[in-house]
Amino acid sequence: MREYLLTLCVTVAVTYLLTGPVRKFAIAVGAMPEIRARDVHREPTPRLGGIAMFGGLCAGLLVADHLRNLNGVFELSNEPRALLSGAALIWLVGVLDDKFELDALIKLGAQMIAAGVMVMQGLTILFLPVPGIGTVALTQWQGNLLTVALVVITINAVNFVDGLDGLAAGMVCIASAAFFLYGYRIWFGYGIEAAAPATLFAAILMGMCLGFLPHNMHPARIFMGDSGSMLIGLVLAASTISITGQVDPDTMALFAGGERNATHAMLPAFIPLVLPLSIVAIPIADLVLAIVRRTWKGQSPFAADRGHLHHRLLELGHSHSRAVLIMYFWSGLIAFGAVAYSVHSTSMWIVLAIAALSGLGLVLLLLPRFTPRAPRWAEALVPPRYRHAERAAEAAVREDAGTEPEPARPIAAGVSGVNGATAIGPRSRFPDRRKAGSAR
C-alpha cells in the first residue's frame, strides 16, 4: 500500500505543478475558444489541461517501474506499455482538438485506433464471466471488438460529462478510488496478480484527477479539454478492461468456495456486459440519454447541446458548486455502494444504507441553494472563493489598499445577500469595493 501511496503522491504533485505552466502555454498559443451557446462559464478559459495530466501519468508509471513491489507489473505484463501507447495517441489528438477543433468523426476514428493499439499489445478481454453461467471464452475477434467498444464508450461518456468546473475530474477520481479498492482487494485479498495492472492504473488515474482539481474547481482557471477528458476516459477504460477480461474467476473459485460464488464476488464488474456500469454509472447514463435525446430530435449524436444532467441541475435552480456536489454524491454512492456490496453481498445493512443514502440524495435535490464555504478556522488555508463572503471582501479591500485589518464592527440586521452573507444594504461598509475590484 505504501508504494501505491508514493505513486499516487508523485502523480498528484507532477500534475499539480505542471498545470500552472500549461495554463500560461495555452494562453500563449491561443487555446482559449470563444464562449459558446452551450457553455456555462462567462469568460474565455484556456484549455490543454490534459498536457499536465499526461505528464502526471508518465511520472506515475516511471516511479512505479522503479519500486520493488510494483516493478513486477512491468516485468510480467505488457499492459502498462499498452496503456502508455494508447494514452499518448489519444492525448495527442486531444491536444490538436483543443487548439484546432477537430471534427467529431476524426476524434472517433482516433479513439478506435488508440483502442486498437492497446489491443495489439495485449490489453484486451480474453473471457467474460457472466453471473449464473460462469466463464464465457471469447474468440480473438470478439474480445478485440468488445475491447474497442468499451474504450470508445468510456471515453465519450467522460467527455460528455465534462461540462462543469471540476465535474469530470471529480467523478473520475471517485470512480478510480472505488475501482482501486476493488482491484486491491482482488490482488491482495485473493492473491491474484492479474489484478495488479488495473490497481496501478486506478491509483495513477486518481492522482491525475486530484492534481488537476485545485486548478479546475469553480471558478476554473483552466479546462482539461478533450486532451484531458479523453485521456482519463481511456485510462479508466484500461483499468476496467484489465480486471474484467484478465482476471479468471476460476482462480477466485479456489478462495470463494466455487465458481458461482467467485463470479458473484466479482458481480459489480460483470453485471453489465458492455461496461462496468457500477463504476461509471452516471457518465454512462448521461451518454445514453444524450444519444437518445439528440437522435429523437433528428440531430447527430455528437452534436453538443445543453441537455446533460449537469445542465438540468442548473435549470432546476442549483448553483454551479451545488450541481457538482450532487453529481459527486451520486457517483460516490453508486461506485462505493457496488464495491461494498461485492464484499458483503449477504449483508442487509449494505442495502439499507444505500437506500437511506439514496433518499438523502433525493432530499438534497430539493433543499435551497447554497455555496460551499470552508470553516472559519480553515479559511486561511483555502483560496478566497471558499471563504465567507464578508471576510473575502474585506481581505480583497485590504490587499488593494495595503492597509492593516480594521477591528470588527457590529453588523446591523439587514438584507441577506448572495450566498447567505449578511449585508447592510446598498451602502455597505466597503464603499470602495467596486472601485477596488475594477482597479485589479
Q: Which residues pair with 422 in a beta bridge?
A: 416
Dig out the grid coordinates for 295 from the structure: 437522435
Looking up cell 489528438, which residue turns up?
A: 93
The CA radius of gyration of the chain, in Å to the nearest whole number, is 24
Q: What are phi and psi of 179, to 5 degrees?
A: -70, -35
C-beta of residue 119 within 8 angstroms of C-beta of residue 148: yes
- Residues annotated within the binding site are 159, 226
Strands 422-423 and 415-416: antiparallel
Q: Among candidates 96, 224, 212, which has minimal Cα distance to 159? A: 224
Residues at the binding site for Mg(2+) are 159, 226
C-alpha cell read off for 177: 478510488
Give 328: exposed, middle or buried? Use CB within 10 Å, 0-12, 13-18, 19+.
middle
> In Å, how far from its chain's centre is CA 434?
37
Partners of 129 in beta bridges: 135
**Smallest Cα–Cα separation from 177: which of 314, 296, 335?**
335
Quick one: which of 139, 100, 101, 143 has its CA closest to 119?
143
